Structure 1
Amino acid sequence: MSDDEDSAPAPKKGRVFYGSLEEKERERLNAEIAGSLSTGSDGVKAGIEAGHINISSAETLELEDHVNERQQEALAEFERRRRARQITVSTDDTEVKAGLRALGEPITLFGEGPADRRERLRGILSVVGPDALKKSRRDEERAKRSHEECHQTWYHEGPASLKDARLWLARYSLPRSMKRLEAARALKEICEATRTIRQQELNKSLRNLNNFCSQIGDDRPISFCHFSPDSKMLATASWSGLCKLWSVPDCNLIRTLRGHNTNVGAVVFRPQAGVSLAQSDVSLASCAADGSVKLWNLLSDEPVVSIDDHSERVSRLCWHPSGRFLGSTCYDHSWRLWDMEVQEEILHQEGHSKGVHDLHFHPDGSLAATGYHLATGSGDNTCKVWELRNRKCLYTIPAHHNLLSGVRFQPTDGNFLLTCAYDNMAKVWSHPGWMPLKTLAGHEGKVMGVDVSPDGKLIATCSYDRTFKLWVSE
């Protein structure tokens, strides 16, 4: 060992040199560490001599570990700042916000400007690494491509029976459409004053609606009600699994339909049931939460046909105006069309992102919807009226204080609209104008369904309180 090496002073305890740090930061760090060691040691000695710190002869107080932790934290912070200075961040504020969003961070903070936001993104990237943003963007692009693939238009070949059914539907609906348009033109020829008087008379009648009858229909909530085509019967569905037929307006029980083992979502009369159909013909259809669909006649309390092709809850059923086809909506994100003449499923239409809750056919029979004004009820407590000709929302009715469970236009002319909701009420709205005409209050639970008799004389509501009510105008 040389004389120079012997005479070289020993480095102070705890002093560390890191060539990767800038010279000034390195000197300041070493001075801070050395000062901490010196201050700590001198303070402990003074405390012992003054008698404030009592240490037995066999114990020593080491500050080395604590100082090393502080040293590592300080070095880690300096290293993070060094990495942050090397990260390139866009000066475009839109890109900065997109980067923060991709990392799951708020795109802006209170009082934060573009420069502060840019530095915040730089600081986050210095911790998680710049590759984290690239990974987030790759994941976002992958999710976007997957979404587009799931929602792209696709085609598959249908059965020959579907083609035959569509031709049959065209021949059925086109003459009916012509008659409807002729009636609309004839109505337009009537002077506006006369039309206004008629609408006012109807509105006055609706404002005088009162509860005519209230009947306990089951020992479980009643989920659906539907009038027969001749307006002489009312069918109700219950969560008990039972469907019941009642005479109206006296509300006497005619028959109990037994076949479902779980919550029944809907029971609907077939067009012309009780009018031109024989009692032995299929006159009703019902569906349940177990995916079953059952067909009934008016003579037996047992189903005549069971359809078990659905894998999930079937929420609603609707007969085509012709009575030949039956539509069903399912929580497997699809709806199906059944041809009763050939007794098979002819259409299984997918594409919805969630369960399909309801379905209705145009009176002409050409569309799976209501008239050119389509009413929809939602969990946002509103009813929206849509203009199908230009596919836009015509009006939003702030209808209720809870989610809507049903909407129904007057079946003949659509002169008024009914809504019901989980706020225990049903309401009557004018059409056009969408003015509130009457609130049908009286149920002690959620109103689950509403219907209008084909002759327009009766309105029925059914509820979670296990009752159904009939409303008439005095």
Structure 2
Amino acid sequence: MKVNSLKNVAGAHNDGIWAAAWAPATDSRPGLLITGSVDETVKLWRGDELECERTNTGHSLGVVAVAAHPGGRIAASTSLDSFVRVFDIDSNATVTTLEAPPSEAWLMQFDPKGELLAVAGGGSCSVKIWNTTSWKLEQSLTVPKAENGADGKAADKVGLGKFVLGVAWSMDGKNLACSTMDGTVAIFDVGKGKLIHTLEGHNMPVRSLVFSPADNHVLFTACDDKHIHMYDARSRMLVSAFSGHASWVLSVDASPEGAAIATGSSDKTVRLWDLKMRASIQTVTDHTDQVWAVAFRPSGEGSSSGRLASVSDDKSISLYEYT
């Protein structure tokens, strides 16, 4: 397996690009790449050409995250303005706007069936789960602090919780993983609204995480400690730790067939990792600043080879062929 650089769009946004996600193809159009930037805009790009279809405005501060519904019709963006904007991908019409208190809307993801949208709650130490039919808040899952403090005494019960940065759904939609600023990863049973357990091993912010498409229990995490961890989220076991980046690992995504992961780092590189070898097999240096997001295109887009996109603080988008 390898990636080959296909195209790099310099100046794709007017400021650093922090977010990227693929909107699946529909009957009327191929898949689109969605990007979000500190310049307060969301842009949609034609997949293989990386030609801008449209620019969406509506946020008043930088865009933190973007997510696409699995049906390919709608998408959502979160911003430092504490709003989640849900919009129609083809018309840009606003479907709804979800308001959060300051610092309470970070990374997000639709569940595999498209029935729920999970939004990392940041300073609220929680994950908000919204029903995508009614757009009403269905659940709020709190990531608690440890039961005992550093001195072994019971933790203060007032204001319990950890700053929540990211979320990832298991492929069956039953479990939700939530990452935090202190490195803890919490695993929830969403149907029961219950914390199952936490995964330990990191001690710095985990900014990105993803479940393997090939296994409901395999979870990958990207951390400021320069490492990527591979966990069995059911048994809590740390299966493997990957190292190679020279600085913070800001993003991770899994290839559609589950044989590889890609990571982006503040060391300005994108790395491809072979999961059988459990090693980095390729380093790409297309960017001149930190890489905030990497995203594999979903399978079944009419091409014999896959696509991987990366976005950076250097205001550029890079597109790669993945084989």
TM-score computed with the length of structure 1 as normaliser: 0.53
State whether residues 224 and 449 of structure 1, in contact with CA within 8 Å, keep that contact through their aligned partners in structure 2. yes
1: CA distance, partners of 2:258 / 2:6: 23
Matched-pair identity in %: 21
Pairing partner for 1:421 from 265, 289, 298: 265
- Post-superposition shift, 1:354? 3.0
1: CA distance, partners of 2:264 / 2:88: 29
- Post-superposition shift, 1:302? 4.8
2: CA distance, partners of 1:409 / 1:434: 13
Aligned-pair RMSD on alpha carbons? 1.6
2: CA distance, partners of 1:420 / 1:337: 27
Q: Which is further off, 237-246 or 402-411? A: 402-411
Pairing partner for 1:437 from 276, 281, 295: 281
Matched letter for residue 343 of structure 1: W
1: CA distance, partners of 2:170 / 2:104: 24
Considering only CA atoms, is the larger Rg found in Structure 1 or Structure 2? 1
Matches within 5 A, 1:351-430: 351-352=143-144, 353-369=161-177, 370=211, 371-411=216-256, 413-430=257-274
2:2 matched to 1:211?
no
Name the structure 2 match of 1:308.
99
Matched letter for residue 323 of structure 1: G
Matches within 5 A, 1:42-441: 203=1, 206=2, 209-215=3-9, 216-230=11-25, 232-273=31-72, 277=73, 283-332=74-123, 333-352=125-144, 353-369=161-177, 370=211, 371-411=216-256, 413-441=257-285
Matched letter for residue 108 of structure 2: L
2: CA distance, partners of 1:338 / 1:319: 9
- Post-superposition shift, 1:310? 3.6
State whether residues 96 and 135 of structure 2, in contact with CA within 8 Å, keep that contact through their aligned partners in structure 1. no
- Post-superposition shift, 1:313? 4.1
Matched letter for residue 467 of structure 1: S
- Post-superposition shift, 1:448? 0.6
- Post-superposition shift, 1:269? 1.2
Name the structure 1 match of 2:188.
none
2:313 matched to 1:464?
yes
Name the structure 2 match of 1:177.
none
**Structure 2: runs of 5 or more not aligned:** 145-160, 178-210, 300-304
Change (3 A) 1:473 1:321: closer
- Post-superposition shift, 1:473? 4.6
**Structure 1: runs of 5 or more not aligned:** 1-202, 278-282
State whether residues 290 and 313 of structure 1, in contact with CA within 8 Å, keep that contact through their aligned partners in structure 2. no
- Post-superposition shift, 1:447? 0.3
State whether residues 23 and 75 of structure 2, in contact with CA within 8 Å, keep that contact through their aligned partners in structure 1. no
- Post-superposition shift, 1:255? 1.1
Change (3 A) 1:359 1:399: farther
String of CA shifts for 1:169-216, please: whole Å, max 9, x gaps: xxxxxxxxxxxxxxxxxxxxxxxxxxxxxxxxxx3xx1xx22111113
- Post-superposition shift, 1:328? 0.1
Name the structure 2 match of 1:168.
none
Determine which structure has greater relative contact order: mean sequence separation of CA pairs < 8 Å that are 6+ residues apart, divided by chain length.
2
Pairing partner for 1:447 from 256, 269, 291: 291
2: CA distance, partners of 1:304 / 1:366: 26
2: CA distance, partners of 1:419 / 1:399: 11
Matched letter for residue 346 of structure 1: E
Matched letter for residue 272 of structure 1: G
1: CA distance, partners of 2:98 / 2:230: 33
